[in-house]
Amino acid sequence: MFHVEGVFDPMTAPASIYDVSATGIDGNLLSLSTYKDKVLLIVNTASQCGFTPQYQGLQALYDQYADRGLVVLGFPCNQFGGQEPGDSDQIQSFCETNFGVSFPLFQKIEVNGSSIHPLYQYLTKAVPGIFGTEGIKWNFTKFLVDRSGKVVKRYPSTAKPEDLAKDIQALL
């Protein structure tokens, strides 16, 4: 299993999204294989970003489609403008208090660079961004994963959660 303490190594990249584990906001290590047969919307998040209000839209998607198999996974990241400076308790409290977030959140990770989390190593290779770049450009980049674990689409930070509904419905 790959987990948050892993360091980027292209020779040991995960073969499947289900080979990756991440530490939940509660401190417990969780294998993404837990979400087999679910549609996943994976988002790198931040609490002090201009896109932070997207938490509300992400929660609305989760509320609307969770019973049909959608799981939104939030991965806080402090790599863009230092916009996620808090610890796990602060992040969780902020998300619950301000946006009623009930979808799974994880501990802070890096989504770019030499300490890139294996999940983002996998996601960015599976679906590169504009002009084939793999790097994440900013907070609230979104990845849609089908029930078999295939990454089917990458959305920029500017994509509003409600605009993803049609793509999500097609996979449910």
Provide the whole-model pTM: 0.91
What is the spatial distance between Cα 88 and Cα 136, in angstroms, rounded to a whole number? 22
Q: What CATH number does residue 70 fall under?
A: 3.40.30.10
| Contact assessment for residue 118 and residue 14, using Cβ atoms and an 8 Å cutoff | yes
- Model confidence at 164, pLDDT cuts 50, 70, 90, reads very high
Question: What does the pLDDT read at residue 130?
Answer: 64
In a domain, 142, yes or no: yes
In a domain, 143, yes or no: yes
- Model confidence at 103, pLDDT cuts 50, 70, 90, reads very high
- Give the torsion through C-alpha atoms of 86, 89, 91, 94, to 10 deg: -120
In a domain, 17, yes or no: no
In a domain, 16, yes or no: no
How many domains does the chain fold into? 1
In a domain, 144, yes or no: yes
Question: What does the pLDDT read at residue 131?
Answer: 59
5-9, 14-18, 81-85, 135-139: the lowest-pLDDT one = 5-9
What is the spatial distance between Cα 144 and Cα 151, in angstroms, rounded to a whole number? 6
More confident residue, 166 or 132: 166
Task: Summarize the confidence of residues 17-27 as an average pLDDT.
Answer: 94
Task: Verify whether residue 49 is a known catalytic residue.
Answer: yes
- Model confidence at 120, pLDDT cuts 50, 70, 90, reads very high
* Active-site residue (options: 4, 39, 40, 49): 49
In a domain, 15, yes or no: no
Task: Look at phi and psi of residue 94 and say left if phi exceeds 0, alpha if psi is from -120 to 50, else beta.
Answer: alpha
In a domain, 3, yes or no: no
Q: What is the tens place of the pLDDT at every residue in 147-156?
A: 999 999 999 9
Find the domain containing 117 and state its range. Answer: 23-171
In a domain, 36, yes or no: yes
